[in-house]
Amino acid sequence: MLKTFRTSDRTLMVLFTIFVLAAPLIMAPLGAGYPDLMQRFAIYGIFAIGFNILFGLTGYLSFGHAAFLGVGSYSAVWMLKLLSINIVPAIIFAVVVSGLFALLIGFISLRRSGIYFSILTLAFAQMSYNLAYSVLTPITNGETGLQLDLTDPRILDTVNETSQVASPSFLGLEMGDTAVVQFLGMDLQFNVGFYISALILIGMFYLSLRIFRSPFGMILRAVKSNQTRLNYTGFNSRPYTLTAFVISGMYAGLAGALLVCMDPLAGADRMQWTASGEVVLMTIMGGAGTLIGPVLGAGIIKYFENIFSRINESVVEGWFSALPDGVTDFLTAVVSPFLGSGWHISLGLIFMLVVIFLPGGLVEGASRIMNLVRRLSQTRKTTSSPSVARPLGDDESPEEPPPGSVNTRES
């Protein structure tokens, strides 16, 4: 049974909800408020939260989670092609299929632990990736990828009499619909697809929070702490780890379905090992085993991928244009390799620094800063209010030292 909601958890949930819904306004000054990137922030946040349920709680490191992301994408596209352009059936079907696929892979892979488990999941993911390009081409459409077409039947929808391919929608609202609002000289873009993804992200974060605080989550932490000792007590932990694996796979399938709902194209590239490695980086950078860390890590990596990769040498020169020419050329030559096409170098350096100095991720760094500020404020309060000695009254005398002690007072 789930524990009651604590005050701190309620506060965290409220702050997280406000931040997610206000993200376009917050990220606009950083050049990241446009719909496509905001959608990716939310979707990959869901992906990372699901991975954290497995890795953060049980310690089982999967290098094959991209397989569930790809399976979810393919499943969603088929529902959009055959059933309805409405995203709800596509999302439900993708989550169910991904869960069944995760059940199959988890049942086999969880017979081993440690590096052997990681290698097994990687092998399954690579096998799925290669099958999508070969045997399963009639289902995946091979290298071209699976996408919507004018000839799709969609048995629940009316006949499409236009010459344009229908776009995924929800309650009549297309995912690409965007309202532009002027605010402080900025064009704020409020996109339907982002807010649907954001609401789902908030719901998945809430579910993750409840799992973390539940007895089920405590058992998963015990598995991470010492699974061998837990098994020696006669407790069978395998059903719990398998359940965590399936839940994590369903999160990944949900993220894959949302990617298709925003851009109705599913390709096997989403099942590559690089996609699995990316979600590992997101979780570790933000803070594995924490609630907010994976979402933070996903946002940072997607920001680097979409913003830093666009900064070219001319932009860097503009940053240092006020300096002398020689200094400008030198700084441009030093900084440019880390931006644009070299954004991976910057991200790699940041990841190395986080792993070396903040093993608990950026959440640990924020916690250290908060503790330091708290200690400094307490020290300042202590030094600003020193104790004042009270003068003795006429009928009072200094306390005599106890017998046997050395009297240091002058006689």
> Whole-angstrom Cα distance, residue 39 to residue 32?
11
Contacts of residue 19, defined as CB under 8 A and 6 or more positions apart, other chains included, come to 26
Please identify which residue in the block is written with the tokens 């999508």: 132
> Whole-angstrom Cα distance, residue 37 to residue 342?
20
Instruction: Give the pLDDT of residue 161.
Output: 62
Instruction: Give the pLDDT of residue 1.
Output: 42
Instruction: Give the pLDDT of residue 14.
Output: 94
What is the b/e burial string over 99-112, where b = at least 16 CB atoms within 10 angstroms of the residue's CB?
bebbeebbeebbee
The enclosing H or E element of 372 equals helix 362-384
Contacts of residue 101, defined as CB under 8 A and 6 or more positions apart, other chains included, come to 67, 68, 71, 249, 253
Instruction: Give the pLDDT of residue 151.
Output: 79
Running along the chain, 411 residues long, what does each successive block of 10 average in pLDDT?
70 94 85 84 96 96 94 95 92 97 96 93 94 91 87 77 78 82 72 93 96 94 89 88 97 96 89 91 93 93 84 82 84 84 85 88 89 87 64 55 50 40
Instruction: Give the pLDDT of residue 364.
Output: 87
> Whole-angstrom Cα distance, residue 91 to residue 80?
10
Give the torsion sign (CA, 213, 206, 358, 342).
Answer: positive
Within its chain, how far is the Cα of 40 from the centroid? 10
3-state secondary structure of 189: strand
DSSP per-residue letters across 53-68: HHHHHH----S-THHH
> Whole-angstrom Cα distance, residue 261 to residue 334?
41
Instruction: Give the pLDDT of residue 200.
Output: 96
The enclosing H or E element of 174 equals strand 173-174
DSSP per-residue letters across 100-131: HHHHHHHHHHTTS-HHHHHHHHHHHHHHHHHH
The CA–CA distances, whole Å, from 265 to 68, 72, 140 equal 16, 12, 10
pTM for this prediction: 0.86
Q: Are 47 and 207 in contact (CB under 8 A)?
A: no
> Whole-angstrom Cα distance, residue 178 to residue 34?
10
Within its chain, how far is the Cα of 300 from the centroid? 9
